[in-house]
């Protein structure tokens, strides 16, 4: 999607994708990754997700990137935090304690920016992008994460003719095609969530599943 689309969504507070609590599937599956305290988690297209606050509470460092300044500033305000702010070639950095949010273009991040990331959590990034951008996103951004990196990816699947994204339907065969060259992909859970999503039902969607994948960068240390 064009940047203006997301800026407008945040300006108008049309943010149905935002959750008022940490992602339940994150809480369930994150411990299986064995990420050590003090490690840094990369959160792409972070919005103002409370998952970042949850990571910090687990003793983890957080590096998020988000295009919308409205989203970034709302996150810190709503958490009662006063961040330090500075500029770099990547954008405007907001830091408070273990949480750093870069207000800028995720595609502008390079290996140097991501070199400290031990893990990645992607709940609403991949599914926010149309097909051509999904390919670029994985080919360019994920390729810059270090070899030790591992994490969780959460997607949605629904009959594509019944709804226009975002969020987009990203099926398992596409996930494996996108990531299979550089990442080991394991399906951890598939769950029917249609009855929990009245907006999808109102749009005429007749089936909706969420799928959780474990990602392990090839060349890294496998998880148990």
For 199, phi then psi, to 5°, come to -65, -40
- What is d(CA 164, CA 162) in angstroms, rounded to the nearest whole number? 7
Classify burial at 95, counting beta carbons within 10 Å of its beta carbon; exposed 0-12, middle 13-18, buried 19 or more. Answer: middle
Classify burial at 154, counting beta carbons within 10 Å of its beta carbon; exposed 0-12, middle 13-18, buried 19 or more. Answer: buried
Residue 99, number of CB atoms within 10 A of its CB: 23
Structure tokens at 115: 């070199």
Interstrand relation of 119-122 and 84-88 (parallel, antiparallel or unpaired): unpaired
| 54 assigned to a ligand binding site | no
- What is d(CA 178, CA 180) in angstroms, rounded to the nearest whole number? 6
| 123 assigned to a ligand binding site | yes
| 183 assigned to a ligand binding site | no
Residue 73, number of CB atoms within 10 A of its CB: 17
| 10 assigned to a ligand binding site | yes
Residue 196, number of CB atoms within 10 A of its CB: 11
Residue ranges for the binding site? 10, 45, 66, 123
Residue ranges for the binding site for S-adenosyl-L-methionine? 10, 45, 66, 123
């Amino acid at each position: 999607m064009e940047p203006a689309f997301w800026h407008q969504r945040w300006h108008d507070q049309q943010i149905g994708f935002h959750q008022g609590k940490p992602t339940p599937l994150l809480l369930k599956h994150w411990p299986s990754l064995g990420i050590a305290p003090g490690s840094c988690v990369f959160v792409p297209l972070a919005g103002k997700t409370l998952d970042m606050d949850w990571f910090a509470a687990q003793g983890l460092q957080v590096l998020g990137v988000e295009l919308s300044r409205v989203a970034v500033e709302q996150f810190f305000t709503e958490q009662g935090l006063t961040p330090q702010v500075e500029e770099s070639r990547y954008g405007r950095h907001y830091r408070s304690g273990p949480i750093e949010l870069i207000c800028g273009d995720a595609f502008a991040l390079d290996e140097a920016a991501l070199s400290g990331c031990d893990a990645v959590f992607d709940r609403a990034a991949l599914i926010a992008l149309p097909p051509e951008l999904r390919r670029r996103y994985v080919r360019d951004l994920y390729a810059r994460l270090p070899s030790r990196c591992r994490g969780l990816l959460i997607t949605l699947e629904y009959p594509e003719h019944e709804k226009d994204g975002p969020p987009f339907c990203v099926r398992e065969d596409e996930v494996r095609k996108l990531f299979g060259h550089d990442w080991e992909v394991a399906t951890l859970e598939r769950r029917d969530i249609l009855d929990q999503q009245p907006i999808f039902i109102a749009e005429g969607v007749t089936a909706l599943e969420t799928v959780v994948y474990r990602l392990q960068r090839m060349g890294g240390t496998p998880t148990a």
